Amino acid sequence: MGSRALLMLTNFKFKSSFASSSSKPFYLVKSSPTIRKLSTKTRSSLQPPDVRRLAETARISLAPNEVEEFAPKIRQVIDWFGQLQAVDLDSVEPAFRADTEGDNLREDVPETFENKEALIASVPSYKEPYIKVPKVLNKE
Amino acid sequence: MASTLFRTIQIHPFSLYPTAICRRRNGVLYCTMKSTQTQTATQEKQQPPKVKVSQHTQSKTLDKITRDYEAIIGIETHVQLSTLTKAFCSCPYNYGSQPNTSICPICMGLPGALPVLNSKVIEFAVKLGLALNCKLSLNSKFDRKQYFYPDLPKGYQISQFDIPIATGGYIDLDLPLEFGGGHRKFGITRVHMEEDAGKLLHSGNGDYSQVDLNRAGVPLLEIVSEPDMRTGIEAAEYAAELQRVVRYLGVSNGNMQEGSLRCDVNVSIRPVGQSEFGTKVEIKNLNSFSSINRAIDFEISRQALLHTQGHDDQIVQETRLWEEGAQKTVTMRKKEGLADYRYFPEPDLPEVILTQEYVDGIRNSLPELPEMKRRRYEKMGLSMQDVLFLANDVNVAEYFDATISRGADIKLAANWIMGDIAAYMKNEKLSINEIKLMPEELVELIASIKGGTISGKIGKEILFELLAKGGTVKGLIEEKDLVQIVDPVEIGKMVDKVLSENPKQLEQYRGGKTKLQGFFAGQVMKISKGKANPVLLNKILLEKLNAKS
């Protein structure tokens, strides 16, 4: 399964662009944040968080002073987890996921949810039969 | 609207000849228009695209321009699976239901709800992966693709990012004869499982939009092709073949109008001989195979023109919409920067584990796929045109197979199905499963005609009744007394009668009007109620006509 290790190392394209050919345009994509960094023999340092960008992508509004205030605090949390970097992973295969259980599957049998009225009633803005939302034309 | 098409077919080793048809273009290619999303419903027939073609010698330069460039086309297809329930909850899905009636806390993304994977989704994904000759990942996982949009209840879509269930396959197809024919093989990069979002409707001039969550959570398979297509027609045929495959497998009804088959196309061009790819442009809002064809051809010429005018920097990586009415692509509002989906493994779903036995079981249960059918029909001696027609619809192919497995003549069976039976189906708007003529009876019909029991003409007549009302050939022949008359004595008697009843015409014939033979033949047919064997009839008639003179 060395191929999986290779997968982890490369920078992924988020959208299926053209097949692996060296001459393709390389679309810079920030896939997932630093979590994917593979441990190397030398201890790598974790990037400091870009709090303003994080807040934007998570749609959490922060005042400028809050951004300044939170950055070191978030950094502290990350660094605390950063202790894991000390583990020697040279002889360990990267796992897909953290758990070890397998499938939890369900049969393809329809079941109607009983209390749909309650679901609809909990929608803040409902204009029968649709959920009413602000007009948005473009995806993020 | 008389839109003519602009297309270049690259010189491949196996295509017949390059054809370039020029298109007259009004106005400037890149005039900015308001980017409105036009929802056009295009009628999509269940056959390969029939595109209007006419030769215009307008600009030979346009012709030359696209010959200097090679187009690189890739397609992303989303196939909505025809499972009974959604991907991660047990809500049923039926196209066209009342909005927001097929919902539950899971597909609405309410707090605390957890997804549970539908086993059928894995089965369909494996089926499709195998049919597309892919390598299956025995271990794969789900990931969260995070973004905010009103039709995405959870704020993320459960998808597969770096470890899809199938990778590295290919698909074989045959181009329609009206476009030069030829065999093609296109690579498939990956197939992965994901869920659909709800439906977002824009209320015309209002300042709000509307969401219907019936579709949220419906399972999709995303198929990503290698950028192997080079022309609009190759791309359109690729999509048509995918539709054929998913219908053959029974994993989806592959309907572009209903949205159960959606294609987004990526087009770039580069000067012939260059190894680097050009800038890639995505085209959305393609509702039919012919739109795929036309949109790509338009985009190729748009980009080629910019290139030759030295404005290739104006080709930017963007998403454009195909406007069916205007027959052109237009810019969507350009995004600032690229989206960051912050993928990470879906913590609420376990790994997807396939055993080799499971995969082998599915592989052994796969039906005969379109490509295999086409090759088998070819070997039987059918012409390419027949092959493409018969293998297009899995039900028609089954009907044909049922007919020839009972011993019917292959070519005759093909002709009946493609001719009179297809015409009837088209008129009555029926599928082959709905007609009353059973394959066994078609076999009987063919045998009866071949064996001389009834004439070909009578055969056609009772065909109509069989199609509409069913019944047996033997029964009808008896009931209506349709057995062909082949006794020369009997025919002779009828000829004598006709000749004696029509002395004037007889004299005219003897006088030189030999065309009247047809008249006499018609009269004999009439009194024999169409049962006289035409060949015998004419032989005897001619003898008698010429004998007395």
What token pair was written down for B193? Answer: 């499982």
Contact A119 B108 (CB under 8 A): yes
Q: Given the DSSP bridges, would you call strands B69-80 and B261-271 parallel, antiparallel or unpaired?
A: antiparallel
- Structure tokens given for B132: 């597309």
Please check whether residue A32 is in contact with residue B343, taking contact to mean a CB–CB distance below 8 angstroms: yes
CA distance B242 to B131: 10
Does any CB of chain A come closer than 8 Å to the CB of residue B34?
A: no
- Please, are residues B103 and B89 in contact by the beta-carbon 8 Å criterion? no
Note whether A106 contacts B187, CB cutoff 8 Å: no
B21: nearest Cα among B66, B55, B49, B67: B55
Residue of A nearest to B209 (CA): A135
Q: Which two tokens stand for residue A102?
A: 């397998």
> B227 contacts in A (CB within 8 Å)?
18-19
> What tokens does B252 get?
């989806």
Is it true that the peptide bond before A129 is cis, omega within 30 degrees of 0? yes
From chain B residues 166-225, the ones with a CB under 8 A of any chain A CB are 187, 189-190, 200-203, 206-213, 224
- What is the 3-state secondary structure of B392-426? HCHHHHHHHHHHHHCCCCHHHHHHHHHHHHHHHHH
The bridge status of strand B352-353 relative to strand B344-345 is unpaired
Task: Please give the torsion angle defined by the CA atoms of residues B84, B87, B92 and B94, in that order, rounded to the nearest 10 degrees.
Answer: -80
Residues of chain B with pLDDT under 70: 1-62, 205, 333-338, 548-549
What confidence score (pLDDT) does residue B473 get?
85
Contact B23, B4 (CB under 8 A): yes
Which of B71, B160, B95 lies closest to B122 in space, CA to CA? B160
Under 8 Å between Cβ of B254 and B235: no
3-state secondary structure of B282: strand
Burial pattern A74-92, b for ≥16 Cβ within 10 A else e, equals: ebeebeeebeeeeeeeeee
Flag residues of chain A having pLDDT under 50.
Answer: 1-43
Kindly state whether B135 is in contact with chain A, defined as any CB-CB distance less than 8 angstroms.
no
Asked if A119 and B83 come within 8 Å (Cβ–Cβ), the reply is: no
Q: Return the residue of B nearest to A15 by Cα.
A: B161
Q: Give the distance, in angstroms, between the CA of residue A131 and the centroid of all CA atoms in the same chain.
A: 27
Please report where in the chains the tokens 């044909």 appear, as a residue: B400
| Portion 138-167 of B in contact with A at CB < 8 A | 139-141, 146-150, 161-163
Query: Is the distance from CB of B193 to CB of B160 less than 8 angstroms?
Result: yes
**What is the token pair recorded at B5?**
């098409």
- CB-nearest to B210 from A25, A111, A130 is A130
| C-beta neighbour count of B294 within 10 angstroms | 27
- Helix residue spans in A13-105 (DSSP H): 51-57, 64-81
B233-261 burial, b at 16+ Cβ within 10 Å, e below that, comes to bbbbbbbbbbbbbbbbbebbbbebeeebb
Are B321 and B332 within 8 A, CB to CB?
yes
pLDDT given at position B537 = 86
ipTM of this model?
Answer: 0.74
Q: How far B134 CA lies from chain A's nearest CA (Å)?
A: 15
Chain A: closest CA distance from residue B344 (Å): 7
Residue B206's pLDDT is what?
76
Residue B285 CA to residue B209 CA, distance in Å, equals 19
* Cβ-contact A123, B211 below 8 angstroms: no
| Rounded Cα–Cα distance for residues B351 and B122 (Å) | 12
